[in-house]
Amino acid sequence: MDARIGFMGLGIMGRAMAENILKNGHPLAVYNRTREKTALLADLGATVAATPRELAQASDVVIAMLSGPGAFADVLRGEDGCAAALRPGQVVVNMSTVSPADTREFSSLLVPSGARYVDAPVVGSKKPAEEGKLIILAGGDEAVIAGLEPVLLAMGSKVVRCGPVGSGSMLKMAVNLLLGIVLGGLCESVNFARKGGLDPAMVLEVLGDGPLGCGLFGLKGPMLASGIYQTQFPLKHMAKDLKCVLDTAYDTGAPVPGASTALGLYQAARDLGLEDMDAAAVMKVLETLTGR
């Protein structure tokens, strides 16, 4: 595939993903709001676009990895926005985590231009992004997604075709619903055991050895044992994603008692000032409530 790729959003995740696109030999243009972050990619051979519009003009496929729906709306709209330059046959791939409702709105905004929209949020954080091992949850036209696979597989180990536009976002919500519940539950279990006189490190080892043992425990266990919550996935994003789950569930009519309980904890953690720590810092809310 010699499609020209345009990539917007060079945060922790985006930069790693853009590098992997270059390494796989795709021609790449990049845009970032704060321009300094483009330098590293330019050194590796990427063209730098001054505006989202310029990026869209220079690309066949425009990929976005931004902080949320607001940031995506910003690059779409306005005089310098992407939307002003979109044309039939072009594809916009939004890999940011946004709600199914926002996804449907963004998609309909593109209709007049003739460009196609694909929502393709990812499972995995910094390390799999660097290693090109993300799981990519793609929603949109089957043929369009098939055409994107070469570039998507530069960033991920697997592309899941979820269904029509919005279904990638829906699946991402389902994944993060469970993430929020399991991480909260892990903290609850360890705190319960600690309060019952047990050694947290031993508890974590037993949980990891049994049928519940999973990659997440390897990532978060050391945080819970040490009480140091160096950020892998910020707590405020966990709260935001669970809020999005509740909003979506309100619309679809799915009961989400576990996500609702979990959001209560993450929201309290956020308001206690832990928002930029790792989501596992929700443990501190349980500790606060445990008292003596």
Distances 77 to 29, 53, 106 between C-alpha atoms, Å: 19, 9, 11
**One residue of 45, 198, 228, 230 binding a second copy per CB under 8 A:** 198
45-64 positions binding a second copy, by CB under 8 A = none
Question: Do residues 111 and 165 lie in contact, with contact meaning Cβ atoms separated by under 8 Å?
Answer: no
Alpha carbon distance 29, 127 (integer Å): 23
Q: Which span sits near a second copy by CB under 8 A: 26-34, 43-51, 56-64, 253-261?
A: 253-261
Interface with a second copy, residue 101, by CB under 8 A? no
Q: What SS3 state is found at 47?
A: strand
Among 64, 207, 235, 281, binds a second copy (CB under 8 A): 207
Whether 172 is a known active-site residue: answer yes
Amino acid (1-letter code) at residue 108: S
Question: How many residues belong to the site for a second copy (CB under 8 A)?
Answer: 83
Supply the minimum distance, in Å, between the C-beta of residue 28 and a second copy: 27
Identify which of residues 76 and 122 has a Cβ nearer to a second copy in the complex.
Answer: 122
Q: Is residue 102 a contact partner of residue 113, using CB atoms and an 8 Å limit?
A: no
Contact 94, 139 (CB under 8 A): no
Q: Which of 70-78, 104-112, 142-150, 176-184 is the region at the interface with a second copy (rule: CB under 8 A)?
A: 176-184
Of the candidate spans 36-44, 65-73, 82-90, 164-172, the one that interacts with a second copy by CB under 8 A turns out to be 164-172
Q: Please report whether residue 216 would count as binding a second copy according to CB under 8 A.
A: yes
Nearest to 110 by CA among 169, 172, 56, 31: 56
Quick one: which of 171, 189, 52 has its CA closest to 120? Answer: 171
The amino acid sitting at 98 is V
Part of the chain binding a second copy (CB under 8 A), chosen from 1-9, 67-75, 111-119, 174-182: 174-182
Q: Smallest distance from the beta carbon of 125 to a second copy, in angstroms?
A: 8
- Token look-up 């990895």 returns 65
Residue closest to 86 by CA, chosen among 94, 96, 76 = 76
Pick 52 or 100: Cβ nearer a second copy: 100
Does 112 help bind a second copy (rule: CB under 8 A)?
Answer: no
* C-beta separation of 34 from 44 below 8 A: no
CB of 228 to a second copy, least distance (A): 20
Query: Looking at the DSSP assignment, which residues form a beta bridge with residue 92?
Result: 62, 117
Which 122-151 positions form the footprint of a second copy (CB under 8 A)?
A: 123-124, 135, 137
From the candidates 23, 37, 172, 195, which is the catalytic residue? 172
Query: What is d(CA 27, CA 230) in angstroms, rounded to the nearest whole number?
Result: 35
Options 70, 206, 226, 230; binder of a second copy; rule CB under 8 A: 206
Q: Which is nearer to a second copy, 76 or 269 (CB)?
A: 269
Among 40, 174, 201, 225, binds a second copy (CB under 8 A): 174
CA 2 to chain CA centroid, Å, is 27
Q: Applying CB under 8 A, does 12 fall inside the site for a second copy?
A: no
Q: Is 190 in the site for a second copy (CB under 8 A)?
A: yes
| Binding residue for a second copy, selected from 53, 237, 270, 284, defined by CB under 8 A | 270
Question: Of the candidates 194, 188, 198, which has an alpha carbon nearest to the alpha carbon of residue 286?
Answer: 188
Catalytic residues: 172
